[in-house]
Structure 1
Amino acid sequence: MLTNTATLIKLFSLSFVVYLLASCGSSSEDNSTVIVQQPLPVVEQITLPITTPYRLTDEINPQQAIAEMAIGINLGNTFDAPNEGDWALHAQEAFIIAFKDAGFNHVRIPVTWHEHTQLEAPYEVDSVFLTRVEEVVDWALAQGLYVTLNAHHESWFKENYQDQKNKNRLDSIWIQIAAHFKEKPAKLMFELLNEPNGMTVEEVNEVNKRLLSIIRNENPNRLAIFSGHGFTPIDSLLETEIPDVQDKFLIGNFHSYDPWEFAGQCQKSWGTNEDKSKLRQIYQRASDWATINQIPVMVNEFGVAKFDFTQPENICDLAERLAYLSHHVSLAKEFGIAATFWDDGGSFSTYDRTNNTWGPEKDILVNLNSE
């Protein structure tokens, strides 16, 4: 009897456990929430707005522009900083007048748009900032200077080029720039993208074509400046595709602080015949490219530091600096290449913006402009 009772208890217990397990399984199956991973929305390339293109009546062909621009100067570390005033003094009309009075024929105004543009569509550029940039552009145009306006330190785009939202954002920035400045005089030129470091040759080719199409949507005949990939040495210009071989208002561009160990880091001297020969080769290659493609060329950044701002103890010899700049200017003149001195108000500068005075570099830079 005891045995039968024990057996019944065991059977009952086992049945109860099976019931509980079945119940748990049933409950889990009935009440569980199935999470379905939704695909991310596809971001489509934005379409260009329907506009009435504005054809400039004071049209300038690029060969004429390059000849008249000769040697110019950058208003560096101003609008290319995150905010005006972060890296150098706020722009003043007196600076632009000083550039003109000194004998420079053009000014480049680098602008970084990122901090002043919405992160989401429609990616609106802050109207106050846009108006402020326009004010400085107008100061320069009023002085009769050629003016280059660009998209400068847009690292958010260059480092994440494959993101379609980034492409749309840069497109939107240029759509707004092109529309806002479309009726400005022909001496205002657009530079597509400064130093696209981190992007491949193919990516730069693609973005150059896209940005040029945006500009042409507003101005069929405004001068547009394009360059290659990386920090845009002469090699990159030679490797890049011409954005539109039918376009008659293009200017090729490269940068030259060669060799950087001297011009940027002040870690070596400069001035041997070999040094001069290497710099000549750069200008010769640029000139050859211009002749083959029938597109004039400029070097819209060249210069030499007074000291390496990352290692201020490294100081460039003044005599070597002046000889280096003189060689750049002579080569630019010889090969018919416009050149823009990089002046950042600091280590790379000749103009003291605080005291409205010039260093010895100025006379060397503008010496050939009057010829």
Structure 2
Amino acid sequence: MTRISRGRRLALAGLAAALTAGGIAAATTSAGAAAAGCKVDYKVGSQWSGGFTANVAITNLGDALSGWKLTWAYANGQAVTQAWNATVTQAGTAVTATNASYNGNVASGGSVSFGFNGSWTGSNPVPTAFTLNGTACTGATATTAPTTTPTTAPTTAPTTTPPAGNAEATVAAMQPGWNLGNSFDATGADETSWGNPKVTQALLDGVKAQGFKSIRIPVTWGQHQGAAPAYTIDSAYLTRVKEVVDQALADGFYVMINIHHDSWQWINTMPASHDTVLTRYNATWTQIATAFRDEPAKLVFESVNEPQFTDEAQAPALLNELNTSFRTIVRNSGGTNATRLLVLPTLNTSADQAKLDSLATTIAALGDRNVAATVHYYGYWPFSVNVAGTTTFDATTQADLVGYLDRANAAFTAKGIPVILGEYGLLGFDTAIGAIEQGEKLKFFEYLGYYARQKKITTMLWDNGQHFDRTSLVWHDPELYGQIKSSWTTRSGTASTDQIFLPKSGTIPARTITLNLNGTTFTALRQNGKNLVQGTDYSLSGDQLTLTAAALTRLTGSRAYGVNAQLSVVFSAGVPWRLDIRTSDIPVLAAATGTTSAFAIPTTFRGDVLATMEAKYADGTNAGPQNWTPFKEFGANLTPDYTAGTIGLTSTFFGEVTDGSKVTLTLHFWSGATVTYYVTRSGTAVAGTLS
């Protein structure tokens, strides 16, 4: 969209499903006046033993039509089994195709088309006569028999040669991307029902100013649809979605829309309700495709978000069916949709090898040059939620990232099929800010941005409102944004830590950290923009940066608990690495009482920061949720409050603690300190003690 389209409205009535299992769909527009003249082009695009695919194009040579009905007869017992973009019925040899609700109007000289699958025995001659609204079509009727006979049935019903286009160039131009999460995908009454403000042009302008080139607008449709069989999308909701899409396109963005939380609301029931789900899915995409068919090519369609099914054994085949049907519906809806980039997900948008292979098979069968694949990545799970003691961006965590993107690259990008990382982030963002330590978080995002570039994968940051403030239009964590933005073009140096802990009393020693140069070189160590002096304040040997005792003594000043000074490690490229100089002592905990729904350990943190917590019974076995590990999930089980001076234990934690048991907690802090504490559950009552 261009800026002149801002505020443009389009109210659409509900559309009927264009594709159903038996070729039966509701048509809401009746045939109009007789056609003064017409031409029909009937083409058998492919044929196999017992079946065929045909496309029928009608050219109106008379006055404008407000509805149409095309009839013909088969000479050798052929039968229509499945149709799209028309309602096709058959009685004996006589076939009638009636317009769908959205393609009944045909201008003088205009054309309309529909397609279908059919069966045949013996031979499959093309029809020789067609009648449109009661008038014989004699205007150079064209019929084309198949030129080849495939030995196997196609997995889709293409009506034209795959569209020309450069999917790789389009996806590359979409880098970097941003998600407008928890707005139109919210499952409540409107886009504000999950706490985000109404989307404004100012917000889109603000996102544009951050350097993003594309916006993914997740959309959940189910709560805005009418009943079967039409599943009509509420016109006001569709209009509102289109308004925001228009505004985003007007800003110059590539825009991707999809079917979002419908995946787990009703699509996942497809194993038990195959025909119902398929009909609804087709009806939904038919309406979306029609509403957006004339939008510019910068609008991209994604078939479904994070597809999942109640029967895993059927899941690959069902997703193949949905992705194939999606492609057929969009391509046959005409307009820009004939060549629009289509994005297909793997099952669960996972890069597990079997799921990549399954999607690769689907894409190969489609033979469509304007298709991209999509997966999502939220990191190595133990690191992403801070569980099982995985608190750092260690070798295992990095290897998981590398393997994930390597597999996606090998399955698709290396073969000319572009990949969009449609969502990425860390799950700890959604459970507790602080679940992932800041420096470790920054290392994850720095490396992900870098490695995705190496694999030519376009990235789209998941943001449900926790990153870019949609009212003030500023980042909640500017340091994180700076690292993400830098990773789009270069690498940044990091370090083994972003915190140096020093004791409250006694002699302050020199401290050494390891620099992760990442292809850069060290250039300076600064405080408040002023360079510290090499040899006096610090020394550098290879990747080992040592701060002298004298410099640290000066920087800590009165040695108040907490951060005494912030330094910047500056590299030859990328963003500087922040290094906090902190004073701390071993935290002090106190006895307390509470309940399983409200219990907090009184904690004097004394400048330290909680990293993780172990929980074990007296016999040494693991206590609490996820009892395969003693280390409990941060946020879900424990949450520190540094202002209130507490460490809260959640009802989720106590929900899986044996009644009457005493649990030993070992609290690990980032300084390296550990503190032991005990909690005893008696019914809903909880007592916390120091011994």
Aligned to 2:237: 129
Is the 2:168–2:416 contact (alpha carbons within 8 Å) kept by the matching residues of 1? no
Stretches of structure 2 lacking an aligned partner (at least 5 in a row): 1-19, 26-82, 87-102, 104-111, 114-159, 491-691
State the one-letter code of the partner of 1:225.
V
* Secondary structure of 1:367's aligned partner: helix
Match of 2:358 among 239, 243, 262: 239
Is the 1:190–1:223 contact (alpha carbons within 8 Å) kept by the matching residues of 2? yes
**Normalising by the residue count of structure 1, what TM-score does the alignment of the two structures yield?**
0.80
The yes-or-no answer on 1:106 pairing with 2:214 is: yes
Match of 2:199 among 91, 109, 113: 91
Number of residue pairs matched by the alignment: 321
Aligned to 1:159: 268
The yes-or-no answer on 1:168 pairing with 2:279 is: yes
Cα distance in 2 for residues equivalent to 1:303 and 1:247:
30
Cα distance in 1 for residues equivalent to 2:417 and 2:423:
18
Cα distance in 1 for residues equivalent to 2:226 and 2:202:
32
Cα distance in 2 for residues equivalent to 1:361 and 1:238:
34
Is the 2:349–2:374 contact (alpha carbons within 8 Å) kept by the matching residues of 1? no
Stretches of structure 1 lacking an aligned partner (at least 5 in a row): 1-41
Q: How does 1:40-59 map to 2 (within 5 A)?
A: 44=22, 46=25, 47-50=83-86, 52=112
Q: How does 1:1-371 map to 2 (within 5 A)?
A: 44=22, 46=25, 47-50=83-86, 52=112, 61-82=166-187, 83-87=190-194, 88-154=196-262, 155-162=264-271, 163=273, 164-198=275-309, 200-218=315-333, 219-235=337-353, 236-240=355-359, 241-243=361-363, 244-263=365-384, 265-267=385-387, 268-291=390-413, 293-305=415-427, 307-309=429-431, 312=432, 315-346=435-466, 350-358=467-475, 359=477, 360-369=479-488
* Secondary structure of 1:357's aligned partner: coil
Is the 2:405–2:452 contact (alpha carbons within 8 Å) kept by the matching residues of 1? yes
Cα distance in 2 for residues equivalent to 1:259 and 1:278:
6
Aligned to 2:689: none
Aligned to 2:33: none
Q: After alignment, is 66-75 or 181-190 more displaced?
A: 66-75
Aligned to 1:20: none
Is the 2:304–2:344 contact (alpha carbons within 8 Å) kept by the matching residues of 1? yes
State the one-letter code of the partner of 1:335.
K
Q: After alignment, is 213-222 or 171-180 more displaced?
A: 213-222
Cα distance 1:343–1:313, how it changes in 2: closer, same or farther (>3 A)? closer
1:217, distance to aligned residue in structure 2 (A): 0.9
Is the 2:184–2:219 contact (alpha carbons within 8 Å) kept by the matching residues of 1? yes
1:258, distance to aligned residue in structure 2 (A): 2.1
List per-residue Cα deviations over 1:65-85 (Å, max 9, x = no partner).
122112211000001111311
Aligned to 1:12: none
Q: Percent of counterpart pairs with the same letter?
A: 30
Cα distance in 2 for residues equivalent to 1:324 and 1:370:
16
The one of the two structures with greater contact order (alpha-carbon pairs below 8 A, sep at least 6) is 1
* Secondary structure of 1:215's aligned partner: helix
Cα distance in 2 for residues equivalent to 1:251 and 1:170:
20
1:239, distance to aligned residue in structure 2 (A): 2.8
Is the 1:66–1:336 contact (alpha carbons within 8 Å) kept by the matching residues of 2? no
Cα distance 1:314–1:370, how it changes in 2: closer, same or farther (>3 A)? closer
Is the 1:351–1:357 contact (alpha carbons within 8 Å) kept by the matching residues of 2? yes
Cα distance in 1 for residues equivalent to 2:374 and 2:429:
26
1:300, distance to aligned residue in structure 2 (A): 0.5
Which structure shows the bigger proportion of residues in helix conformation?
1
Q: Give the alignment's Cα RMSD to 1 decimal.
A: 2.4
State the one-letter code of the partner of 1:207.
L
State the one-letter code of the partner of 2:481.
K
List per-residue Cα deviations over 1:4-57 (Å, max 9, x = no partner).
xxxxxxxxxxxxxxxxxxxxxxxxxxxxxxxxxxxxxx984644224547x9xx
Q: After alignment, is 102-111 or 241-250 more displaced?
A: 241-250
Which structure shows the bigger proportion of residues in strand conformation?
2
Is the 2:413–2:419 contact (alpha carbons within 8 Å) kept by the matching residues of 1? no
Is the 2:214–2:254 contact (alpha carbons within 8 Å) kept by the matching residues of 1? yes
Is the 1:72–1:104 contact (alpha carbons within 8 Å) kept by the matching residues of 2? yes
Q: After alignment, is 88-97 or 74-83 more displaced?
A: 88-97
1:285, distance to aligned residue in structure 2 (A): 1.4
